[in-house]
Amino acid sequence: MKALILAGTMALAASFAGAQQFDYGFAGLMGKQNRSDLPDLTLGSGKPVAEGPISLKSGGYYKMKIVADGSAELALSGGDFFRAIWINEIVINNIEIRPLGVHSLEFDAAGEAEISFIAIMPGTFELAIPGTSGDSQKAVFTIQ
């Protein structure tokens, strides 16, 4: 019986030794070749947040930078937008954050955050500076 167990264990070990190594890097949909870079969003006193409306495709993989110039303490808020996407990561100062949910990002000083995400739910959504109403103080995203 011990010989049978030993033979089975050796056969299992041999099969693992010959197994291919898996690369859990971002392949498939989330490979860099499938990612589209979006225009940067800007946070600055009196500056427009976005150059214009941004169109996304449901199921598309995107990367977007939010750049604050430090001229004022500003945030971008948009719970509806963040619920319409799946966030892969937010990178701040080379620190990768993989959140379960986001409502807003606030910059107290100059800095940059990079968000990579997959657009999920079709519709029109906004990321806006809280307490503002001007069209230039928000980014409008349409997911088709």
pLDDT digits (tens, 9 = 90+) for 40-67: 999 999 899 999 999 999 999 999 999 9
pLDDT digits (tens, 9 = 90+) for 5-26: 444 444 434 444 444 444 445 5
Q: Is the pTM of this model over 0.85?
A: no
Max distance between CA atoms of the chain, in angstroms, equals: 80
- Residue in this structure with the two tokens 């519709």, named with its chain if needed: 123
Query: What pLDDT is attached to residue 22?
Result: 41
- Span 97-103, average pLDDT: 94
Query: What pLDDT is attached to residue 114?
Result: 97
Phi-psi region of 131 (alpha: psi -120 to 50; beta: other; left: phi over 0): left
> CA 91, CA 107: separation in Å to the nearest integer?
14
> CA 39, CA 119: separation in Å to the nearest integer?
16
All structural domains of the chain, each given as residue ranges with its CATH number in brackets, are 28-143 (2.60.40.420)
